[in-house]
Structure formats: structure tokens, C-alpha cells
Amino acid sequence: MVTQSATLKSKEEIIERMKKPEVITGSEMLLRSLVLEGVECVFGYPGGAVLYIYDAMHGFKDFHHVLTRHEQGAIHAADGYARASGKVGVCIATSGPGATNLVTGIATAYMDSVPLVVITGNVATSAIGTDAFQEADITGITMPITKHSYLVRRVEDLPRIIHEAFHIANTGRKGPVLIDIPKDVSAAKALFKPVTEVNIRGYNPTVAPHKPQIDKLLQAIAEAERPLILAGGGVIYSGGHEELYEFVTKTNIPVTTTLLGLGGFPSGHELWLGMPGMHGTYASNKAIQAADLLINIGARFDDRVTMKLSGFAPNAKIAHIDIDPAEIGKNVPTDIPIVGDIKTVLTIINREAKPAAKADAWRAQTQAWKKEVPLKYKDSDTELKPQWVIEMIHDTTGGDAIVTTDVGQHQMWAAQFYRFNKPRSWITSGGLGTMGFGFPSAIGAQMAHPDRLVVSINGDGGMQMCAQELAVCAINNIPVKVAIINNQVLGMVRQWQEIIYDNRYSHIDLAGSPDFVKLAEAYGVKGFRATNKEEARSAWEAALRHPGPAVVEFVVRKEENVYPMVTQGNTIDEMIMGDAE
């Protein structure tokens, strides 16, 4: 049996060995630098321009490399790893098509502020700009969707660049950083000296807030009669969930959490009102529109939250706490701007925070909205309803699983009907809305937490965009449990076409999709199918008992819609309630 102290000792020995100055290749520098940055898992796909790097990996056991079946699978897996662990996700791809296959994943991470270091190969420096075989200007292509990027021209610069890349990715407003390494640079040799310091001119994110702004917020809370907290993904990314809980406990202010903020505040708390926006709860949306003080903590006032901007929170003074000053006032005029790290800001606020003394009637009103108009749907004993499936998954996992989703109706049902009480247990593509994200991100989350249950909830459309990664689960025995909500249609597109486009259904039929049970079995993964409640319970429980990866296809009602729904051009309190009406 290997003890923890022995494991720590071996890690320390590895690090000391990696620090040793030595003349080595750029590829070896890269691997050593990754280990020194604490990297334990890398997702990638080799090709010509990164062959020296992969040659250096031969027999290399100081981090785990997962060979995916598509570069998009690699970067979504790295993204899921980062979101689940709080560490920087790392992926590697070759030049040209390998690099361009990463673009959607880079944009996904950029929109959701996920720290990634993306390593691409390039043609030799002498061939750059000649339209050489598999050449693409990946730094130019990705410039709008990376926090920073490097084209490495000298092998001596690699240790510094890699250290800077990890620092940039995981500080301030987090995001993806790209390192493009020409093939001759990866082959060249130089003296390797580890870099431990960072000095980047012009990059110095504000962490501590301006104290007078804190005082303004505390005064506004004391005067407010209808205060409300809007908590976003920044709470989770900063590790500030405990500080948020303390802030709510001290002030007794109701809370609504955005799609990416789910899990940042426990859903079982009586002051939690649900998720706001297009498919938000009645209580959350009504509260935003009636609030006289809206405290935005780590959210960016996304259009799916605000809907009609000119009618958003019309009665509220707006306070906005964010690490990125560019977000404050960008979409919604801000009265009390506070720039700083969420955890740090809340720690300072909590020293002086007091109950919102004038808000007793307001709390009663928000609780009444929550009680009078909860999320609901018409259940059926003859058809399998997707909302019921999500509730069943929640009940059987105790709400303790890490849940990833793809994008569409199933994503919104999961956000509504799975109750999250812990941060980093909800992984979904928010800003970009990337189909194909859900399943490979679950692989990354499982690699980050091998001892936790990871459930990937997908639609029948998005599942087919990265279904080839089933091979990765089978070969590596990664025990992700995949739930496919199969309504044989592009569900959210169908819903919009029904409600907004007068039932003109155009090119949404997915009835020709594969038999997902056979598809899973073809990859060596256990497959199940359910068409009613009894089958659903049995199949899901069998999947949970199975020690390896498993796929359960839930065949659900095609016509089911996500409610509440706010259509574009309307304010968030102008909700279509659907079955609740």
C-alpha cells in the first residue's frame, strides 16, 4: 500500500528532478515545465508538427496523457477538467486542422472564463507564411477568443512563456492562453532553467477593492427595502462561495444564481430563489424587476439573463462586483462599481455586513412568489417526461454528482430540476452554447475527480457531435454515466419554431439518429434504454451499479417545452408559463 507521505515524497522527488538545469530539447522543456506547473493530466491528439513533443512523451509517466478521438473532444475535456478542479486545463494538438479543430473549444472557455493552456504545433519557423503543409495562423485565428497567445520563436524562451501562460490563464478574469510551438523549436536544444517569477508589463489585475466603494454598498444595503443578490460564475471561479454564504447569512438578502453560478450558493437555502432570465424561475424574475437594490456578484449581465435591456431591473440601484473592469457598466449602467476578486471583496464586506433591516416585507414577498409559482410540469404515466428524468437522476444521486450537460432543452431542465449545493458540481457551456461540449467535458471532470460520480446529461443532437469519445471512456475505464434525453428532434430549435415561428418546423428532425444502445456497445460501453418510468428507474440504477462507463437512452416526449420562457424583445417578468398557466 502506498502511503500519502510516500506519494508526496515521490512528487517532491519528481519536482526536484525536473528543476535540474540541463541541456535538453524544447519538447523536453515543455514536459518538464508542465510538471513544474502542477499539471497531472493532459488531453491531446498527435500529428506531424508535434511529433517531437509526443516522442518526448514516450515512456514519460510524470503526468497522464489522454488520447481523445478528436481535437474538439480534447479541449472540451480540458475545459471540464478545469471547471471541476479549479486548476488550469491543458490540451495539445498539431498544426493546421488540428489547431483549428480547437477553435470552438477555445471560444467556449473564453466566453465562460475558464483557465486553459492550449498548446499547438506549427510548421518550422523557416516555413511560416509560405502556406506550408498543415500551416495555419492559429495565433491570428484565435486572437479574439484568447486571453493571450504566444508564437514561440526561440527555444530558450519556452520555460518563461509556459510559466507566464499559466499565470495569465489562472489570474484576474481567467481564460484560455495559446502557445504555438514551431516544429524546429520543439526539436532545438538549449539549457533548461526553471522560471519561478512572473513580471509581465501592463498585466496586474486588481484584487483588492477600493474601500469607499465598499462603504457605498454597505450604506445602500442599510437603506434598501427590496435588495437582491445576483450571483454568477465569478463566485465559483474565485472560490468565494463560502464568503457569499456568509454575506447572505449576515444580510438576509435573497439570492438568484445565474446558469454558471449554480452551485455557488446552496439551492436548498430558503433565500435562494432559483435561476433568472429566459428560462428562469418566476420568483427570480419577479424579484429582479421589483428590486430597489440589485447586487451583481461575478455575473456579466448576459442577454439571456437581462432579456430586454431597457426594461431590466427598472427600479433598482445597481451594484456590480467583478474582477474584470470591462464588464462593469458594459451592458447595464452601474451605480456602485467594485473592481476586485470576488472572494477578497466579500471577505472585506463581511467584516462590516449587517442585516438589511428594512427588507422584512420584501423577504416575505420573495418567499411567497417562490411558494405560489414553483417550477412545475404535467407529469404522465404513459410518456416519459424529461423533467421527471432529471428529478429521478437528482434523487438517485442525492444531488452530490458532478453534472455536465450539452446545450438545449435538456440543459435548461437540468439547471431547473437538479438541485446543486456545491460549487464546481455543475459544468455547462453558458456563453457560447456549444453543442458537443457535454460528454467530453464529463471525461475531463472525471479525470479531475476519479472518486466522484460524474453524470453527463445530453440531447440526442449534441451527443452525436462528440460521440467518438466513448472510445476514450471504454479504453481507460472512465466511469462517466451518460444520460441521453432523446426526443428525436433539435428540441430547443423546435420550441422556438413552435412559439415564435408559428409552428413552421424547418430541418429539426433527428429521427434518423443511431440506436444509442448499439452505438455505446460498439465502443465497448454498457448501454441501456428506457421508454417509461419503470424502465427508466431500472436502467438508471443498473447504470449506477455498473463499475465502468454507461449510457442510458431516455426516450422522451418530442413536444415537451421548457417553461418558464421569456421571448426576445420582452422583459424578464413577461414570462410564458406553459403548463403552469
Catalytic annotation, residues: 71, 133-134, 183, 492
Among candidates 218, 299, 293, which has minimal Cα distance to 259?
299
Query: Could you tell me which residues are beta bridge partners of residue 93?
Result: 45, 120
Cα(208)–Cα(345) distance, rounded to whole angstroms?
Answer: 7
Phi first, then psi, for residue 13 (nearest 5°) are -65, -40
Among candidates 141, 195, 126, 142, which has minimal Cα distance to 167?
195
Say which DSSP state 407 is in: S
- In single-letter form, the type of residue at position 412 comes to M
- Helix, strand, or coil here: 159? helix
Q: Which residues, 6 or more positions from 71, have their beta carbon under 8 angstroms from its beta carbon?
A: 45, 91, 93, 98, 99, 101, 102, 105
Among candidates 398, 15, 70, which has minimal Cα distance to 7?
15
Cα(20)–Cα(5) distance, rounded to whole angstroms?
Answer: 23
Q: What are the cell numbers at 444?
A: 475531463
Cα(484)–Cα(404) distance, rounded to whole angstroms?
Answer: 12
SS3 for 271-309 is: CECCCCCCCCCHHHHHHHHHCCEEEEECCCCCHHHHCCH
- Residues 444 and 79 sit within 8 Å (Cβ to Cβ): yes
- Count the helices and strands in the chain (H runs, E runs): 23, 19
Cα(20)–Cα(211) distance, rounded to whole angstroms?
Answer: 45
Q: What are the cell numbers at 243?
A: 464568503
Query: Could you tell me which residues are beta bridge partners of residue 558?
Result: none
Q: What are the cell numbers at 206?
A: 486588481
- Residues 70 and 469 sit within 8 Å (Cβ to Cβ): yes
Number of neighbours of residue 21 by Cβ within 10 angstroms = 9
Cα(508)–Cα(498) distance, rounded to whole angstroms?
Answer: 12
Q: What are the cell numbers at 580?
A: 403552469
Residue 471 CB-density burial (10 A; 0-12 exposed, 13-18 middle, 19+ buried): middle
Cα(157)–Cα(117) distance, rounded to whole angstroms?
Answer: 16
- Helix, strand, or coil here: 2? coil
Q: What is the largest CA-CA distance in the chain?
A: 72
Q: What are the cell numbers at 392?
A: 429521478
Tracing cell 433527428 back to the chain, one arrives at 510
